[in-house]
Structure 1
Amino acid sequence: MTNTTKNFCFCTLAFNRPYRMMAKELASDLEKYAPGFKIIVGNDNPQDFKNCKNVISYYQKQQGILHCYNDKRFAIAHALSLFDIAIFIDADTRIQEKIPTEITKFIGVQGVYKNLIEHTQKYRPDRLDIVKKLASKLNINLSEVSYFGESLLMFSNQDNQSYKFVENWGKIGKYLELNGIHSGEGITIGLAAFQMGWQPLKTPEWEKLNHIAQHIDASLTVKKNGWQQLQRRLGYHYRLNKERLLALKDFDFYYG
């Protein structure tokens, strides 16, 4: 029995036109350097990708209260419903070298990882008390949890456990968002993975991808006009109030 598989795909999110255009550039890179492999794009205008032969485009709207970072889980779930392995790659990334055509089989998640407490203390110490309270609710020893870099991640659906991981991610992400932590989904991924008993990994194929992926971080340069900013504020308050109400169904977890 072979220890590698070709049954994998890429996936990403692309909300709003600038990110859809960047996702198309990424798809073009993959068509050249990973011919025959698909990229699944969750986005708000699937017609933009109608001429992209290697794209599986589906409609998705923002669920995250302020940002869409935790919405990555929907694209990953979509990808893992079709393939054994999903490689999540931020839309504002370029690829300029050939991609490995086979991936070593694994269980769990791969990515840049480090100790979650040390990372949070260094970069966002203001978040640590909330994260510690959440870990206590989940009966997790926080000192054993890893933080994951978010721009390039590899997920496996071995043993059909991905649905549970995505469910964990959603619950943890909502708790953090309702407590004002809207970014740094690497915390959420680390906690959700630990709940699954997954150990962080780095196979040679992931190391190769990480080496050749050039992440631009367009969030620092993409600007919204006045109408877009108003829509964002209105959307934020709508989603915040909606999630507050839905969280009442599990009052002890979210508010206790």
Structure 2
Amino acid sequence: MTSLNNQNLSDSQDVDSPAMSSNAMQSSPSTSNSSGEKRVQDFCICTAAFGKTYRALAQNLVADVTQHSPEIPLIIFTDKPEDFKPSDTVLVFKHDHVGVLCYHERRFAIAKALSMFNSCMYLDADVRLCAPIPHDLQWQPGITARSCANMAVHLNAMLERAKSSDAPVVKAYGVIQKMAKKVGLNLETDDLTWINEFLFVVTRDGGRELEFLDLWGKLAVFAELHGQHKGPAYAIGFAAAKVGFPIRHDVMPGVDFFDDRIEKVRILKGESDPTAKKQYFEAQKKIENRRLPVWKKAIAKLTKLQSYYYHSLRLRLQTLTSRDFDFYYR
């Protein structure tokens, strides 16, 4: 397994490794005990923000953390750190994504966070923090998920919602099955957990977190090589189950957040006032629905397509000479 103490990602290093390819813009926050010795704080928040839209959304998250919980360090992994203003508690790291798309890149932010802190709360870049995080929350070793479900139940529901002719869903299910088999798991009989990956906490577990992150990385690459770039929850669930990294559900009392998808469901169920978090909907919409000239939209679309094919080819070439060739291709 690759050690998280290795801070540089060499050209020869495997693409699934969570070792850091990023350079910090600030040093690790620490406090002093009565003897004057430095000690690393126990908890931080982390996120990953790639692309102009998600960097802009993450800036709102930075403002939220600074306003509501300024004492909690925030780690940001991003392709353009110059878009953020680092401080003693806002730690910005440059990261060039190693996957085809960026959905699995959060594992690098989490790995960095766990190399500095005992626990980290991962928040998607488009999530908002609406109030201070309570200081009395206790995190057990492993993963604490705000929202999760039995993997088989989740997948069956996904298939039921899809039409039998829905090729992308059928293909995705096939890849998920292959991922499970790669690590000796059975979707039907094993106790597997799917987590909603927009908000979850990861806590050290005597080094088992390193095994979890490494296997997540391998499964992420396997999924991307088979065309499944989204949905990191499957790799997370399989990796955790295989290495014995516990996953538990917790409503996280006192953690007041905004996620547009979750909030819409709450409103439909009558669990939330439609006007309560209207300002968050409007702020997100303003960023995501920027009006651009037609020529700029065309350039952005071509750039996105070019990036996809470049990273697909790069990943394919890297894995053809990887020590994990058999895992990826046989």
TM-score, with normalisation over the residues of structure 2? Answer: 0.69
Using the TM superposition, name which of 135-144 and 166-175 deviates more.
135-144
- 2:327 is matched with 253
**SS of the residue aligned with 1:40?**
strand
**Which structure shows the higher helix fraction?**
1
Distance 1:81 1:128 in 2: 34
Structure 2 residue corresponding to 1:80, chosen from 84, 92, 114: 114
**TM-aligned CA distance change 1:148 to 1:17, over 3 Å:** same
Q: Is the Cα–Cα contact under 8 Å of residues 41 and 117 in structure 2 kept in the other structure?
A: no
Deviation at 1:145, TM superposition (A): 1.1
- 2:150 is matched with 115
- 2:220 counterpart of 1:173: yes
- 1:215 is matched with 259
Partner amino acid, structure 2, of 1:137: K
Distance 1:134 1:51 in 2: 38
- 2:67 counterpart of 1:25: no
Using the TM superposition, name which of 161-170 and 220-229 deviates more.
220-229
Distance 2:87 2:300 in 1: 27
- 2:196 is matched with 149
Distance 1:200 1:122 in 2: 21
Structure 2 residue corresponding to 1:238, chosen from 295, 305, 310: 310
Using the TM superposition, name which of 169-178 and 54-63 deviates more.
54-63
TM-score, with normalisation over the residues of structure 1? Answer: 0.87
Structure 1 residue corresponding to 2:177, chosen from 132, 138, 147: 132
- 2:211 is matched with 164
- 1:217-242 Cα deviation digits (max 9, x unpaired): 66994578322222221221121112
Number of aligned pairs? 248
The unaligned stretches of length 5 or more in structure 1 are: none
Identity of aligned residues (%): 30
The unaligned stretches of length 5 or more in structure 2 are: 1-39, 160-168, 262-283, 291-295
Q: Is the Cα–Cα contact under 8 Å of residues 8 and 83 in structure 1 kept in the other structure?
A: yes
Q: Is the Cα–Cα contact under 8 Å of residues 16 and 44 in structure 1 kept in the other structure?
A: yes
Aligned CA-pair RMSD: 2.4
**TM-aligned CA distance change 1:16 to 1:129, over 3 Å:** closer
Q: Highest CA radius of gyration, 1 or 2?
A: 2
**SS of the residue aligned with 1:159?**
coil
Distance 1:63 1:167 in 2: 14
